[in-house]
Structure 1
Amino acid sequence: MATAARADSPPYGIDFPTHRPTGRFSNGYNIPDLISQKLGAELSLPYLSPELKGKKLLAGANFASAGIGILNDTGIQFVNIIRIHEQFKLFKEYERRVSALIGEEETQKLVKKSLVLITLAGNDFVNNYFLTPVTARSLEFNLQDFSTYLISEYKNILLSLYQLGFQRVLVTGVGPIGCAPAMLATRSINGQCAEEPNLAMKIFNPLLKKMLKDLNHELGSSAFIAIDSLEMQSDVIYHPRAHGFTTSNVACCGQGPYNGLGLCTTASNICPNRDLYVFWDAYHPSEKANKIIVDAMFNGTEKYMSPMNLSTIMAMDSMT
């Protein structure tokens, strides 16, 4: 798929077991990989991978497409990204392929006990509302109204997921994007986290948490689990040394101030020890930071995961 939003060239994947780029926006494993490992499951392949066939279909699939958002005008600067409603169509196709393998009834059971991770909204801010100093969306909405609009659109997406039969959906909030090296390079004063993007998160995340709680109540279910990415990542960003990092404001791979400008390529500055950096590139955490986030998903208190963490979910599901 020819798109400008991609991570399939070096130095991406430098710490992956193959030391080669895999399309993950990471120096090594990403969050879905690390969740799979903790569950003792196979890593899920991208749905469009030619390797995803036969028994491998039963290990799940990754439908994510870099740069997309809740809104269709998010990421329009990237060509050929697979928007969320197209991802749903691909899932239906995937379901048909699995049904051909194990039958319809078993496929429904598989869907029901699947764990889904959905991460949306960050790009609606980064690659839409805050893309340039003035954008069509920032002229149309103030931050409060934009966040409210995003939440109403997101609810429809999550209802569509529920209607597909999923009963365990992890929904991540948006992290402190104002602290990402890209924002420090373009919007920061004296290296402080950029105020307006971080204010957006403080408005958006509580609305998301409330919407998920209300949605569970409406559906009489506990299908949707809120992940407070802002709390999780803020802990690491504001107290890097407590987590074994030396810096949380400079990306390991990039160029310009804070290594926050442009793409991560072989021409970029690359740090020799990725485990000392919270950020791998201008926006994405390093593998080590991802591990800390995933640990919090499994073992975190309600500060991070509501209404329950992943360990609790797994314990409950093992009893059914």
Structure 2
Amino acid sequence: MAAAATEAASFLASFVLGVLALSLVVSPSVSDAARAFFVFGDSLVDNGNNNYLVTTARADAPPYGIDYPTHQATGRFSNGINIPDIISEHIGGDPTLPYLSPMLSGIRLLNGANFASAGVGILNDTGIQFMNMIRITQQMEYFKQYQKRLEFMLGEQDASRHVKRSLVLITLGGNDFVNNYYLVPFSVRSRQFSLPDFVTYIISEYKKILMTLHQLGARRVLVTGTGPLGCVPARLAQSSIDGTCDPELQRAGTLFNSHLVQVINKLNANYGADVFVAANAFNMHMDFITNPRKYGFVTSTVACCGQGAYNGVGLCTMASNLCPRRENNVFWDAYHPTEKASRIIVSRFVAGSIDYMHPMNLSTIMELDSKLL
């Protein structure tokens, strides 16, 4: 009996140790988790948050998503996947879920989150015509909320470490021009500021946003400047007879981007590290806008989905003209690139020279950080 009891006790102890060991394997672990990815900004990087809002800035109906793996609209302003999805492919993670998605819970939190919302800008009065959006100040509040949820799962120290070793993408600025300053003739902001003064103002506000990201733990942040705002089909439809880009909006983007690089350089100097990386979206886009055939496109002026001149009038809907071959077009709708164009843009993020990525590209970031994380 004593021997049997001893054997039973030994078996029970082994069983308990085995269960504990298994629990350690399957429990969320910062050291084993892929690098988290966080996304902030506007419709260029929104992957579905606006689906959960009462807003006119939505991409949750066909033909959006026609080339997505499920062939269904997801809230991405694309025919397929978008820039954050492609970056996720390069860093080896799953696409981030929208923060408002009920699916973002449990172990999925380790993958990061997408807080972006179509229509938003640097300024809170940008995009008010769309009714509801997650303005950038609210995106930051959601980031704080996310971290509390992560702390509950991992503990404060590991949650902080997971955020600090993450990659962050933020895309803002374009809407402050097209959906604010230049939205209507003699807009409130255009009467308040000359263009150079407006750029100075929104850059000073953007600096505060970037500093907030750093305060919240972000240590590697890809900051995209504006693309060539004067070349999008929506603008061409308003002002171009021959497909020539609008020089005033091109000037606005150039001024904004040069000031943004200066702010990034100053912030990095203050922090003593290359926290912020400027992604020159203007140059990335202009490559295939000025020479579309070099990159396998047929047109860089006509949107694939839309109506009116250059398919740049109104929204992309089931009633719109729809091109049969999306790989021929730089632009999917009046403002947003096709998946093919987005892949070219991200290739510049990954391996681009200093003309595209300053002070380093994503490949260099990943190589450097692999030695530290």
- TM normalised by structure 2 equals 0.85
SS in 2 for 1:171: strand
CA distance in 2, matches of 1:63, 1:21: 18
CA distance in 1, matches of 2:356, 2:301: 22
Which position in structure 1 is the counterpart of 2:151? 99
- Identify the match of residue 73 of structure 2 among 21, 26, 29: 21
Instruction: State yes or no: 1:121 paired with 2:146.
Output: no
- Which aligned pairs between 1:1-320 and structure 2 lie closer than 5 A? 1-320=53-372
Amino acid at match of 2:168: V
Amino acid at match of 1:139: R
CA distance in 1, matches of 2:188, 2:242: 28
Q: Please state how far the C-alpha of 1:137 moved relative to its aligned partner.
A: 0.8
SS in 1 for 2:277: strand
CA distance in 1, matches of 2:87, 2:254: 26
CA distance in 1, matches of 2:177, 2:239: 14
What is the percentage of aligned positions where both structures have the same residue?
Answer: 59
CA distance in 2, matches of 1:211, 1:160: 14
How many residues end up aligned between the 2 structures?
320
CA distance in 2, matches of 1:12, 1:58: 28
Amino acid at match of 1:115: L
Q: Please state how far the C-alpha of 1:150 moved relative to its aligned partner.
A: 0.8
SS in 1 for 2:139: helix
CA distance in 2, matches of 1:111, 1:98: 9
Q: Which runs of 4+ in 1 moved over 4 A?
A: none
Q: Please state how far the C-alpha of 1:225 moved relative to its aligned partner.
A: 0.2
Offset from partner CA, 1:25-58 (integer Å, 9 cap, x none): 0000100000001111011000000111111111
Amino acid at match of 1:12: Y
Offset from partner CA, 1:116-154 (integer Å, 9 cap, x none): 100001000010011012211111111111111111010
CA distance in 2, matches of 1:279, 1:191: 13
SS in 2 for 1:170: strand
Amino acid at match of 1:209: V
CA distance in 2, matches of 1:191, 1:15: 27
Offset from partner CA, 1:97-123 (integer Å, 9 cap, x none): 111111111111110011110000100
CA distance in 2, matches of 1:30, 1:222: 26
CA distance in 2, matches of 1:119, 1:188: 27
SS in 2 for 1:28: coil
Amino acid at match of 1:41: G
SS in 1 for 2:130: coil
Q: Please state how far the C-alpha of 1:188 moved relative to its aligned partner.
A: 2.0
Q: Please state how far the C-alpha of 1:195 moved relative to its aligned partner.
A: 1.2
Q: Please state how far the C-alpha of 1:221 moved relative to its aligned partner.
A: 1.7
Offset from partner CA, 1:159-190 (integer Å, 9 cap, x none): 00000011000000000010000000012243
CA distance in 1, matches of 2:157, 2:239: 52
